[in-house]
């Protein structure tokens, strides 16, 4: 059981603001989800900063290879 955190991220392809729900238990994980606007796969990195706050970064899937 945990709270879902709502975060706003920006699509690396089209720049659209997207609201995503993050499960704190996913910290340290990566997952891919298609942009709701341009339908391209966005890689989400879920992490925790030094303050213990959940943070989400997104990147172009192609940059990982
Ligand atoms: Zn997009």
Q: Ligand 1 mean position to 1 CA, how many Å?
A: 31
Look at residue 52 and tell me whether its pLDDT is greater than 90: no
Look at residue 56 and tell me whether its pLDDT is greater than 80: yes
Q: How many other C-beta atoms are found inside a 10 Å radius of the C-beta of residue 43? A: 17
Residues 6+ apart with CB under 8 A from 25: 2
Q: Ligand 1 mean position to 37 CA, how many Å?
A: 5
Structure confidence by residue, pLDDT tens digits, 14-40: 999 999 999 888 899 999 999 999 999
- Give 2 or 8, the one with higher predicted confidence: 8
- pLDDT at position 57 is 93
- pLDDT at position 63 is 61
Domains in the chain: boundaries = 5-60
For 20, the token pair is: 């995503």
Q: Ligand 1 mean position to 2 CA, how many Å?
A: 28
């Amino acid at each position: 059981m945990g709270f879902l955190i709502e975060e706003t991220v920006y699509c690396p392809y089209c720049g659209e603001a997207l609201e995503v729900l993050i499960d704190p238990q996913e910290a340290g994980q990566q997952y891919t989800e298609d942009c709701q606007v341009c339908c391209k796969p966005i890689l989400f990195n879920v992490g925790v900063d030094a303050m213990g706050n959940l943070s989400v970064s997104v990147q172009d899937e192609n940059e990982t290879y």
